[in-house]
C-alpha cells in the first residue's frame, strides 16, 4: 500500500503536488494543507512545524483509528500490499483460560501505561483478556497463531501477580510455542527481525517475531533461516545468545545481522529507535 492508497482508503483530505501529498497538519491544526508527506522518502514536513516523526504524525492525522493505524504498517514505496486483518485464525481448538473475552478498560489501561495502543494490540495480535471470573484471572491472553491457527497462548498479568507470564498447559496446546515463532504469519517479505518476547514484537510491529523464551529450538532456527534478510534484536545482556543464533543461521543462504540496542529490553525503546528498526523491515 502506498501513501496515496492509505489516504484514499481512510478518507483523509489531501492535495497532491508531484511526490508531495499535502494534508492538514495535526500538530498545528492548520486548515491550509501545511503538512507535506513525501511519497518516496516517507517523511513528514510541515510548512510551519518543520520535520515531524512520520508514523506518529500520520497516526494523529487518522485520530488513532485502529484500522488506519494498522494500515500504516503497510505504507511503503513498494506496491506490495498484504491485508493482515483478513488473517483470522482458521480454528480455535486450543483451550483458552475460562471466560477469555474482549479486553476491558483495565487491560487497556495496562497497555496504555506500557505505551501500546490497546485497540491495535487487540485488532492486530488478537489479544484477549480475562477478569476475576477465570482460572487465569486478570490477564492478557496472547494467542500464538501459526499458519492461521491458534496453537498455544501465553497470559500476561495486568495486576502485578508474581507470575508475570502463565503459559498454556501442554495438554491444552495444539502445537508447541517452540515449534513456531510468535507473529511469524505477519512477516510479509523476506526480511525478519527476531526478538525474545511477544511485547517486543508488538513494539516493532509486523515483521518482528518472538522466540517466546530463552532457548531457541532447531525448528525456530529453520523458520528464521527461511527468510533472506535476518536481524537479531535481543537484550544487550544476551549478546552471546545473539551471536550463537547468528552462527546457527550460517547454514542458510542470505544474511544475518545483530542489532545492538541500548535499552535493556526492546519493549522500552524510544519511538525514533523503533522507527529506524521498522525502516529496516520495510526495505
Indicate which single residue of 19, 28, 90, 159 sits in contact with Zn ion (rule: CB under 5 A): 28
Segment contacting Zn ion by CB under 5 A, of 18-26, 112-120, 177-185, 217-225: 18-26
Indicate which single residue of 25, 180, 198, 233 sits in contact with Zn ion (rule: CB under 5 A): 25
Nearer to Zn ion, 35 or 118 (CB): 35
C-alpha cell at 171: 495438554
Nearer to Zn ion, 28 or 98 (CB): 28
259 — phi, psi (to 5°)?
-105, 120
Q: Is 32 in the site for Zn ion (CB under 5 A)?
A: no
Segment contacting Zn ion by CB under 5 A, of 40-48, 63-71, 237-245, 254-262: 40-48
Give the nearest distance from C-beta 77 to Zn ion in angstroms. 24
Q: Is 27 in the site for Zn ion (CB under 5 A)?
A: yes
Q: What is the 3-state secondary structure (H, E, C) of 151-192?
A: EEEEEEECCCCCCCEEECCHHHCCCCHHHCCECHHHCCCCEE
C-alpha to C-alpha distance for 175 and 173, rounded to whole angstroms: 5
Residues sharing a CB contact under 8 Å with residue 115, sequence separation 6 or more, in sequence order:
203
Segment contacting Zn ion by CB under 5 A, of 6-14, 22-30, 55-63, 172-180: 22-30
Nearer to Zn ion, 49 or 221 (CB): 49
The strand order across the sheet containing 149-157 reads 128-129, 139-146, 149-157, 165-167
C-alpha to C-alpha distance for 9 and 75, rounded to whole angstroms: 12
Indicate which single residue of 1, 7, 46, 249 sits in contact with Zn ion (rule: CB under 5 A): 46
Nearer to Zn ion, 44 or 138 (CB): 44
Q: Is 176 in the site for Zn ion (CB under 5 A)?
A: no
Nearer to Zn ion, 35 or 129 (CB): 35
- Whether the CB-CB separation of 28 and 65 falls below 8 Å is answered with no
Sign of CA dihedral 77, 78, 79, 85: negative
Segment contacting Zn ion by CB under 5 A, of 24-32, 120-128, 211-219, 254-262: 24-32
Segment contacting Zn ion by CB under 5 A, of 43-51, 80-88, 110-118, 171-179: 43-51
Give the nearest distance from C-beta 57 to Zn ion in angstroms. 9
Query: Looking at the DSSP assignment, which residues form a beta bridge with residue 150?
Result: 145
215 — phi, psi (to 5°)?
-85, 145
Using CB under 5 A, list all residues that contact Zn ion. 25, 27-28, 46, 48-49
Amino acid at each position: 500500500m502506498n501513501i496515496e492508497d492509505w489516504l484514499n482508503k481512510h478518507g483523509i483530505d489531501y492535495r497532491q503536488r508531484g511526490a508531495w501529498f499535502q494534508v492538514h497538519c495535526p500538530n498545528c491544526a492548520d486548515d491550509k494543507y501545511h503538512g507535506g508527506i513525501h511519497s518516496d522518502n516517507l517523511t513528514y514536513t510541515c510548512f510551519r512545524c518543520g520535520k515531524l516523526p512520520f508514523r506518529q504524525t500520520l497516526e494523529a492525522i487518522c485520530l488513532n483509528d485502529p484500522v488506519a493505524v494498522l494500515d500504516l504498517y503497510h505504507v511503503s514505496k513498494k506496491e506490495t500490499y498484504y491485508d493482515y486483518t483478513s488473517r483470522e485464525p482458521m480454528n480455535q481448538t486450543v483451550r483458552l483460560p475460562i471466560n477469555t473475552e474482549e479486553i476491558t478498560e483495565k487491560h487497556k489501561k495496562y497497555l496504555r501505561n506500557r505505551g501500546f495502543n490497546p485497540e491495535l494490540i487487540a485488532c492486530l495480535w488478537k489479544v484477549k483478556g480475562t477478569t476475576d471470573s477465570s482460572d487465569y484471572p486478570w490477564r492478557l491472553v496472547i494467542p500464538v497463531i501459526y499458519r492461521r491457527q491458534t496453537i498455544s497462548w501465553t497470559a500476561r498479568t495486568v495486576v502485578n501477580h508474581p507470575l508475570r507470564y502463565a503459559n498454556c498447559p501442554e495438554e491444552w496446546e495444539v502445537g508447541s510455542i517452540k515449534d513456531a515463532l510468535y507473529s511469524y504469519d505477519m512477516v510479509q517479505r523476506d526480511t525478519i527481525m527476531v526478538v525474545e518476547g511477544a511485547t517486543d514484537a508488538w513494539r516493532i510491529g509486523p515483521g518482528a517475531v518472538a522466540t517466546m523464551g530463552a532457548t531457541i529450538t532447531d525448528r525456530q532456527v529453520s523458520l528464521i533461516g527461511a527468510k533472506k534478510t535476518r536481524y537479531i534484536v535481543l537484550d544487550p545482556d544476551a549478546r552471546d545468545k545473539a551471536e550463537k543464533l547468528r552462527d546457527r543461521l550460517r547454514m542458510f543462504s542470505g544474511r544475518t545481522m545483530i542489532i545492538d540496542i541500548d535499552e535493556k529490553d526492546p519493549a522500552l525503546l524510544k519511538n525514533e529507535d523503533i522507527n529506524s528498526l521498522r525502516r529496516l523491515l520495510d526495505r
